[in-house]
A and B are shown apart, each in its own frame.
Chain A
Amino acid sequence: MAVTEKELQEILDQYPSKVQKNRAKHILIKDGASEQIIEANTRTIPGIITNRGCAYAGCKGVVLGPLKDMVHITHGPIGCGYYTWATRRNKAKSEDPTQNFLNYCVSTDMQESDIVFGGEKKLAKMIDEVVEIFHPKAITVSATCPVGLIGDDINAVARAAEGRHGLPVLAFSCEGYKGVSQSAGHHIANNILMDKVIGASEEEKAGGKYPINILGEYNIGGDSWEIERVLKDIGYTIVSVMTGDGSYEELKNAHIAELNLVQCHRSINYIAEMLETKYGTPWLKVNFIGVQGMSSSLRSMAMYFGDEELIAKTEEVIARELTRIEPVMEQYKKICEGKTAFCFVGGSRGHHYQGLFAEIGIETILAGYEFAHRDDYEGRQVIPTIKTDADSKNIPELQVSADERRFRLKVSPEKMEELKQKIPLSYYEGMNVTMKDGTIVVDDLNHFETEEFIKILKPDIFASGIKDKYVIQKMGIPAKQLHSYDYSGPYAGFNGAVNFARDVSMGFASPTWNFIVPPWKDEPLLTGTVNEEGVA
């Protein structure tokens, strides 16, 4: 089933003209024969029921939140800190539980007087209080909307606190109105981690073989742990993860890796580029979601290092894992085969999960991202052509250059070129290319379009987030949260694929769907017999 241009136009025609003009650029029907451009990372029109959040959510909520050994202070009224407290399922464990602060929410809880007279003093006191109570290795301060408006200089407060306490206090000006979505906050957070944390240690060499960083992996539902299980088994040394189950202590060493893996392209690709510029460390686009994605990512990594022993071990581990999980996946595939899905997630999962859906026999007929940029759809080759607008200009750009002391080409330029022909080294092809002709790509899908596309395409499952979930289920369609995994997981890696297949199958197989229509709706109240002869 597909949507025709005419049907798409009929959906758009229901919009007021300005909205129509805008939204038309964010939706396309995939046509491999033509070069298709999609508009992304631009403002959502006021009044549109969007799934998007804000820069603070992307900065403190997504990127900083998982760093377990730092106390994260939210400078603002109470809500922002409260909503990013333990809600995102970025799991972490620590050898020293007194240095794992993930169960804590620290907020300056700004009051009216702070708005009127400024909140700098309160923030300074809060930092002092945090140091006294928690003795953390480092502290972050994230700004919320009013902070920028009243002109609190959080950088100055942080610098002064660093002087008083002798520990790093990092300030993030991630006011919610900056940029157009969470994506702005990812940039603000990552740029400062790049600038102030990565490379801050004196380490120059990893303690084990094949040292790597995993970038853009947030350990939702334990994803990173499942990935690391396999990587460690093969023989890799994981220097740091940005930022799932991550820590300030590990992140300081990220410069010593020989390869950076990029899982979530959207939130971190620019950091991977900077690490390459600064330290000479190439990056590899990986996709640890799905059996195929996981296997081919492992093979690409082995090819990068080019060590025969590593390649052999990689094949051995893949074979072992496949033997174990394939029969189980087959069972779930029987339940899911032939079904269709919508897959609308944040910035990379909208793409990554399509492969896993396909492995259990489910075709993705509509996909999109909440806060991606054009390159996540069309591939990195479009980056030079992306126009910067007022909303992206207010996110500070970080310029890096080669670190004279530490820059070292990990691979010769000739070898790089050779590898690039074979593996996605420093490259991401984007989502669109993998989608079938006739399927729909939608950027910043909104509530209205959700309802309209469901009416036409009638998907069997809708993968999205909590704000959509119960809307979809009211329609009698199973909805799978791909931000929180419906409190299940991990979904990454080999075991994750099985968990996902199990959970999706459960969504289809649940007997509860059979009860939606009450029995009396199918049976007339008064029943009688029909006299065939027509005589009473």
Chain B
Amino acid sequence: MLDCTPKEQKERNSGGAINPAKTCQPIGAMYAALGIHGCLPHSHGSQGCCSFHRMHLSRHFREPAMASTSSFTEGASVFGGGANLKTAIKNVFSIYNPEIMAVHTTCLTETIGDDIPSIIKSAEIPEGKLVIHANTPSYQGSHVTGFSNMTKGMVSYLAEATLPVKKEQVNLIPGFVNPGDMREIKRIARVMGITSIMFPDTSGVMDAPLTGKFSMYPKGGATVEQIKDSGNSRLTLALGRFASSEAAELLSKKCQVPASVLKTPIGIKATDELIMALRRAFSQEVPYELEEERGQLVDIMTDTHFHFHGKQVAIFGDPDIVTGLTEFVLSLGMKPVHVLTGTPGGAVGSGMGSFEEEIRGMLAAAGVSANVKAGGDLFTFQQWIKNQPVDLIIGTTYGKYIARAEDIPLVRVGFPILDRSVHSYLPIVGYRGAMRLIESISGALLDRADRDATDEDFELVM
């Protein structure tokens, strides 16, 4: 397994990737668009892009990922894709009848410079139906950037400030997380008695029930009305700097909704911060239900600290998720010695160049020295591990090759998880999500201890 990766690290200066820890923008845009109720995402490019993205989303969620394509041919690539997109818009509304189409671009259509807004303007769109778009050049950023761009597109096309006084409601931009996480974040707001608008919201879409009837537009998703109304909210909480901050900033500019950027609420500290932000903004006392959950989490952390304290861990994945995980494993007393994201740290826009800085800050505070890299790949990650072995890897399914090659347990967190199920239904965010993470981390370490123990050291109680 991965027998061609040398231990010796030489500088690689091609700028290419070997075993990437990211994919391209459009899949993030497609996933975000699925978080609008009644929306059909549309991929403006070659058929392969749409096919690859639908396949990958379906493999991760084990759900239909419906989307259409402009089916580019060589002719369209030369003469421009306007005709293709207009034909597509006409056909999509007449055959698949969505409420709204969300068009994202690809490297092809960005390279030839198709002007999407003017194509949309000249397209036949049935009365009452909407077409929005986001530019998602695959040669910038990563899938997280694409998610961010489509979320921003929702704000720029839909959000409106229509009231003189803001409503007592909060906008929650959840970032590139699973439907199970989105449900949990909404529940926290609900339990606190705060009305919330979440967008994108893939719960009820990418975790829809089996009923015996296929619905192309399942019950879930943020409605167009809700996204419009987000301009009337009193506050936006952008959860995850990389996936959510730009939409929040735009909403603040466009509709004067104050924005606060928080971490993806993974682990106790980030969840505390989310709850405190809601408490302060809406002067709502934290109900016992959440206080009890928090107390249970602290109870678990304390009771089992010897399972994980001091263990060395290597973490990779999307920047917002990795940031949350790093903070959480530090609060468990673990040592994150390798921390990597495939998404470039200095990605498009402001305030995002700080992945490495933020992680280094957390590590310095805990007195841990580590390899930290944004825009890295799994070839580098494996070489780090070869040179400094760890007790545990936390990352996506792609980590399983390294886990096997280096004989290290893997806890699967993030996107994509292609070889296990149920992960998308249950949260890793909030206090409950933190409990679930501890169960996985502690379980993986103890399973390994059981596997490696000699008969005489094999323990019944641990």
Contacts and interface: CB of A to CB of B under 8 A. Distances in A.
Interface string B72-95: 111111000000110111111011
Interface string A373-394: 0000000000000000011001
Interface string B210-222: 1111110000000
A97 B70 CA distance: 42
Nearest to A185: B48
B54 interface: yes
A176 B49 contact: yes
A87 to B, nearest CB: 7
B51 A51 contact: yes
Nearest to A84: B52
Interface stretch (B1-9, B324-332, B429-437): B1-9
Contacts of A149: 77, 108, 111-112
B4 A47 contact: no
A248 interface: no
A99 B71 CA distance: 37
A114 B139 CA distance: 9
A500 B45 CA distance: 36
Contacts of A344: none
Given A46-B91, A177-B74, A145 B214 contact: no
B91 A106 contact: no
B149 interface: no
A338 interface: no
Interface in A38-67: 43-57
B372 to A, nearest CB: 20
B71 A45 contact: yes
A467 B50 CA distance: 11
Contacts of B240: none
A52 B94 contact: no
A181 B19 contact: no
Interface stretch (B21-29, B154-162, B274-282, B285-293): B21-29
A144 interface: yes
A77 B94 contact: no
B95 A14 contact: yes
A184 B106 CA distance: 20
Given A49-B96, A103-B2, A176-B108, A451 B139 contact: no
Nearest to A54: B48
B74 A178 contact: yes
Interface in B12-38: 12-20, 22-24, 26-27
Interface stretch (B61-69, B192-200, B385-393, B441-449): B61-69
Contacts of B306: none
A47 B58 contact: no
A510 interface: no
A83 to B, nearest CB: 4
A467 B16 contact: no
B20 A107 contact: yes
B74 A391 contact: yes
Contacts of B74: 177-178, 390-391, 394
A25 interface: no
Nearest to A16: B94
B73 A54 contact: no
B55 interface: yes
Interface string B197-213: 00000000000101111
B77 A474 contact: no
Contact of B55 (A49, A55, A112, A467): A467
Given A48-B71, A56-B48, A78-B142, A129 B16 contact: yes
A146 B18 contact: no
B371 to A, nearest CB: 19
A146 B139 contact: yes
Contact of A126 (B14, B56, B90): B14
Given A48-B68, A177-B73, A79 B15 contact: no
A110 B90 contact: no
A52 B55 CA distance: 11
A290 interface: no
A466 interface: yes
Nearest to A108: B16
Interface residues of A, number: 88
A138 to B, nearest CB: 15
B174 to A, nearest CB: 23
Contacts, number: 260
A176 B208 CA distance: 32
Contacts of B68: 47-49
Given A128-B14, A466-B59, A111 B71 contact: no
A447 B51 CA distance: 13
B399 interface: no
A80 interface: yes
B236 interface: no
A517 interface: yes
Interface string B352-386: 00000000000000000000000000010000000
Contacts of B84: 46
Given A47-B88, A56-B48, A180-B73, A126 B55 contact: no
Contacts of A80: 24, 48, 52
B138 interface: yes
B90 A125 contact: no
A517 to B, nearest CB: 7
Among B15, B70, B208, B213, chain A packs the most CB atoms within 10 A around the CB of B15
B458 interface: no
A470 interface: yes
Contacts of A73: 16
Contact of B62 (A112, A178, A470): A470
A81 interface: yes
Contact of B64 (A44, A56, A108, A471): A471
A111 B139 contact: yes
A134 interface: yes
A470 B73 contact: no
A117 B354 CA distance: 28
B198 to A, nearest CB: 24
A83 B23 contact: yes
A145 B90 contact: no
B47 A125 contact: no
Contacts of B73: 43, 177, 179-180, 390-391
A432 B299 CA distance: 67
A87 B12 CA distance: 26
Contacts of A110: 107, 139
Contacts of A14: 95
B96 A448 contact: yes
B271 interface: no
Nearest to B137: A112
Contact of A19 (B12, B51, B91, B215): B91
Contacts of B59: 87, 466
A91 B352 CA distance: 40
A225 interface: no
A145 B87 contact: no
B71 A16 contact: no
A86 to B, nearest CB: 8
Contacts of B18: 104-106, 133
B429 to A, nearest CB: 25
Contacts of A97: 1, 3-4
Contacts of B54: 467
B94 A109 contact: no
Interface of A: 14-16, 19, 43-57, 73, 76-83, 85, 87, 97-101, 103-112, 114-115, 122, 125-126, 128-129, 132-134, 144-146, 148-150, 175-182, 390-391, 394, 447-448, 451, 465-467, 469-476, 516-517
> 3 shortest A-B CB distances, which residue pairs?
A54-B48, A79-B24, A47-B91
18 contacts: A45-B87, A46-B91, A47-B42, A48-B68, A51-B51, A77-B137, A80-B24, A99-B4, A109-B16, A110-B139, A125-B14, A145-B77, A145-B106, A146-B107, A177-B73, A177-B76, A448-B96, A475-B212
Given A19-B91, A77-B24, A133-B4, 10 more contacts: A43-B71, A46-B70, A76-B107, A78-B20, A78-B22, A79-B52, A394-B74, A451-B214, A472-B214, A474-B212
